[in-house]
Structure 1
Amino acid sequence: MGQKKNPRRVAENAALAKGRLIRTSPQKLNLVAQLIRGKKVEKALADLTFSRKRAAREVKKVLMSAVANAENNHDLDIDSLVVDQAYVGRNIVMKRWSPRGRGRVGRILKPFSEITIVVKEVEEAA
């Protein structure tokens, strides 16, 4: 009698994780996301661990969440996971004001962004 099961948003051999309200601009976050696209998860985690960019910590959390989703929810082998997609989107923008000379005001925009990471299980080629 309950609700019907929602269809999967990704393929059977993939898992997804999202990070929302990340306090950095989408442009800066996308620079970090480019580092891991197409890489094996083990290599991507190592790259994020030793990256000097502040956004790398947030991307690493989301990547680890995607790996945990793959292992626990979809029974995928974590040793054969590859970062299939990593894309960034805009979120809210906080607007703040700073007083300037002659009664004017300076606008300060504090953007937030979100990241989606899809990991996919691939078969090892012999």
Structure 2
Amino acid sequence: MGKPSHQRRLADTEAQAVAKSLRISPQKLNLVAGLIRGKKVEQALAELEFSEKRIAGDVRKCVMSAVANAENNHSLDVNDLVVAEAYVGKNMVLKRFHARGRGRGAAILKPFSQLTVVVRQVEEEKTEKKAAKKPAAGKAQAKSKEAK
């Protein structure tokens, strides 16, 4: 007689992972999350591995967790996964005080963030069509340059 199960918010071809209480400001974390949005999982993991940002390791763990969820819980093909969404939210803020001159104090805020990564399975045909269109556009530009 437990609670009724809720509807799944994501599509059948999607899986997500959430990393909570990351000790970094949301603004800085969003810079790293922006590096991986819309990229294939292999490329996103490679970029995070060689990134010089301190938080890149934690973001990489979250992406790997989303891939594991996709593979084990939803039976998706790992080779076709793309980082569909990577969004950042605020979490708690530690408030500390630093003694200043003349009996005053200055607030020091130590923000925490959370990261949600959603991976989506994309068929090979769509990615092949996009790849086929890109060189064709490059050839048209090259022809127009030759004409000039």
TM-score range, shorter chain: over 0.9
Q: Which residue is equivalent to 2:4?
A: 4
Write the distance in 2 (CA, Å) between the matches of 1:58 and 1:6. 29
Q: Which has the higher contact order (CA 8 A, sep 6+)?
A: 1
Of all paired residues, the percent bearing the same amino acid is: 61
TM score, norm. by length of structure 1: 0.96
Write the distance in 2 (CA, Å) between the matches of 1:78 and 1:112. 30
Unaligned runs of 5+ in 1: none
SS of aligned partner of 2:9: coil
Report how far residue 5 of structure 1 moved: 2.9
Write the distance in 2 (CA, Å) between the matches of 1:10 and 1:86. 14
CA RMSD of aligned residues (A): 1.0
Q: Which residue is equivalent to 1:98?
A: 98
Letter in 2 for 1:35: L
Shift of the 101–72 alpha-carbon distance from structure 1 to 2, 3 Å rule, reads same
Matched, 1:74 2:69: no
Q: Which residue is equivalent to 2:142?
A: none
Unaligned runs of 5+ in 2: 129-148
Considering fraction of residues, name the structure with more helix.
Answer: 2
* Offset from partner CA, 1:49-72 (integer Å, 9 cap, x none): 000001111110110000000000
Letter in 2 for 1:17: A
Count of paired positions:
126
Report how far residue 6 of structure 1 moved: 2.4
SS of aligned partner of 1:73: helix
State which structure, 1 or 2, has the greater radius of gyration over its C-alpha atoms.
2
TM score, norm. by length of structure 2: 0.82
Letter in 2 for 1:86: A
The within-5 A match list for 1:49-88 is: 49-88=49-88
The within-5 A match list for 1:103-122 is: 103-122=103-122
